[in-house]
Structures are given as structure tokens and as C-alpha cells.
């Protein structure tokens, strides 16, 4: 019998992954062989688990980009600035770098579970930058210069950053070292969250203040003092009008 796929005559090639290789590496190798051996009259399509992986990977990239955009817009509304959210989100590349490093150290692969862990990291690591930038802005509103404000913020927010980060890391330990049925597939997600949080924790206290010094505005006004300044300005105008009439 002649087999067909999408109304074309087809031949199905099946292969299993060798130990230590991921689905993405297997798909890339099959594509390389197809490009090398087949001419332009042939086309290839994925099916089964490899097709599901390829489709889910594209959806994960969209979800990751949408998460970054959504968090940036929410932070822009919170800080009433487009620069402060950019400073806060500099923690995300640090976390992603730590995630890939932890996958390499523990000999894990990049799969759907590890990618979900990276999306989770986007929301988890930005809170470190929020704590630092928000406190630094408050200190500048109370009269400190930018350097003094960011040093004070990094020092004062060290304890809450440590507590929240370690709580997330310890909460991910059961996932990273899970046993039993299906545990192997979830291990990479726990390792990604633990590695990304620890790596970001070590560098956030240095990188975020540096970025803040480079891009943050030099002066800030205390919003509580603005009404008083407006009243004083109105009084000065009234006095000026009275003197002019006299």
C-alpha cells in the first residue's frame, strides 16, 4: 500500500533519542540530515510528539514575549515612567542566564517544563528590582541625591530581597528533587526556578544600582510638597497684584 500524509505520498521515519539529548536537538539533527540528503522535490513534516514539541515551543515564545510586555506596561503605570520599568526588568536577563547555567550544571535539557519555569521567573525576579527602585525614588523625593538614594535602597532592601528569594528557592526544592512517576519531566522546571532566582539574587544588588545610576532621572519632587508649593505661588501672585494696585 502507498501511504499518504496531507494528500501527498509519504514515507515515515521514526527515531528515538539517545541518552543525554533533548527533543530540540533531535529535531535539529533530523532537519540537517533532510537538508543534506533530500532535494527540492521533497518536503518534510513533523508528526507525533516532535510536532507537539515544535508547536508548544512557538507558543512558549509568544507567552514569554507577552509576559515581558505585560509586566513592562504594569510597571510603567505604577512608576508613571518608562525608564524605571526598564531598570527593574534588567533582572530578567540575569535570571534567564542563571536558568541556562543551572540546566547545564545539572545536565538537564531545555523542554516545555523548563520553558514554563523561565516564564515564571519573569514575574518572580522583577520584584527585586521593584523593591530597590521604588525605595530609591522615595529617598530622592526626600532630598537625597541619586547615588546616596540607590545605596540606601540596596542596603535597606537587602533583607526583604533575601527573604522572598530564599522562600521561592526553598519552595522549588520539592520540584527540583522530586521522585516518583512523572518526576523526571518536572525536575528541569524546579532547577530553572532555583538557579535563576539564586543567580539573579547574587547580581541584582549590583547590576540594578548600576543601571539606576546610568538611566534614572537626577532629581525627583515629593508629591506631598507640591500642593504647598502651589499655595505659596498663589500667595505670591496675590501679593504682587496688591502691590501693583497700590
The chain-wide mean pLDDT, for the chain, equals 82
Tens of pLDDT, residue by residue over 64-96, are 888 899 999 999 998 888 899 999 998 899 899
- Model confidence at 154: pLDDT above 70: yes
> Grid coordinates standing for 94?
540575569
Within 8 A by CB and 6+ apart from 11, the residues are 3
Query: Please, which contacts does 78-82 make with residues 24 or more away whose CB atoms are closer than 8 Å?
Result: 79/133, 79/134, 79/137
C-alpha to C-alpha distance for 246 and 240, rounded to whole angstroms: 10
Paired with 5 in beta bridges are 8
Q: What percent of the chain has pLDDT over 70?
A: 84
Low-confidence winner among 18-32, 98-112, 137-151 (lowest mean pLDDT): 18-32
Name the most confidently modeled range: 84-93, 170-179, 211-220, 234-243.
Answer: 84-93
- Model confidence at 202: pLDDT above 80: yes
pLDDT of residue 123: 86
pLDDT of residue 43: 78
C-alpha to C-alpha distance for 70 and 129, rounded to whole angstroms: 16
C-alpha to C-alpha distance for 144 and 155, rounded to whole angstroms: 15
Give this prediction's pTM.
0.71
Within 8 A by CB and 6+ apart from 15, the residues are 26, 30
- Model confidence at 17: pLDDT above 80: no
Residue, of 28 and 214, whose pLDDT is higher? 214
- Model confidence at 227: pLDDT above 60: no
pLDDT classification of 177: cutoffs 50, 70, 90: confident
SS3 48: coil
pLDDT of residue 244: 62
- Model confidence at 99: pLDDT above 70: yes
pLDDT of residue 101: 92
pLDDT of residue 220: 63
Amino acid at each position: 500500500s502507498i501511504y499518504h500524509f496531507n494528500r501527498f505520498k509519504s514515507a515515515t521515519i521514526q527515531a528515538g533519542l539517545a541518552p543525554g539529548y533533548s527533543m530540540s536537538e533531535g529535531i535539529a539533527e533530523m532537519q540537517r540530515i533532510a537538508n543534506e540528503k533530500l532535494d527540492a522535490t521533497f518536503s518534510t513534516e513533523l508528526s507525533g510528539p516532535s510536532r507537539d514539541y515544535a508547536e508548544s515551543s512557538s507558543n512558549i515564545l509568544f507567552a514569554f514575549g507577552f509576559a515581558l510586555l505585560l509586566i513592562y506596561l504594569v510597571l510603567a503605570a505604577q512608576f508613571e515612567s518608562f525608564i524605571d520599568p526598564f531598570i527593574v526588568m534588567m533582572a530578567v536577563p540575569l535570571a534567564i542566564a542563571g536558568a541556562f547555567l543551572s540546566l547545564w550544571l545539572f545536565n538537564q535539557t531545555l523542554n516545555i517544563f523548563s520553558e514554563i519555569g523561565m516564564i515564571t521567573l519573569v514575574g518572580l525576579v522583577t520584584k527585586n528590582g521593584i523593591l530597590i527602585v521604588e525605595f530609591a525614588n522615595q529617598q530622592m523625593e526626600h532630598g537625597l541625591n541619586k547615588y546616596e538614594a540607590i545605596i540606601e535602597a540596596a542596603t535597606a532592601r537587602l533583607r526583604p530581597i533575601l527573604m522572598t528569594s530564599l522562600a521561592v528557592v526553598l519552595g522549588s526544592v520539592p520540584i527540583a528533587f522530586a521522585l516518583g512517576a512523572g518526576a523526571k519531566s518536572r525536575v528541569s522546571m524546579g532547577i530553572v526556578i532555583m538557579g535563576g532566582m539564586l543567580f539573579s539574587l547574587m547580581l541584582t544588588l549590583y547590576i540594578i544600582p548600576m543601571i539606576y545610576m546610568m538611566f534614572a532621572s537626577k532629581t525627583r519632587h515629593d508629591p506631598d510638597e507640591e500642593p504647598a508649593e502651589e499655595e505659596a505661588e498663589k500667595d505670591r501672585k496675590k501679593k504682587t497684584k496688591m502691590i501693583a494696585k497700590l
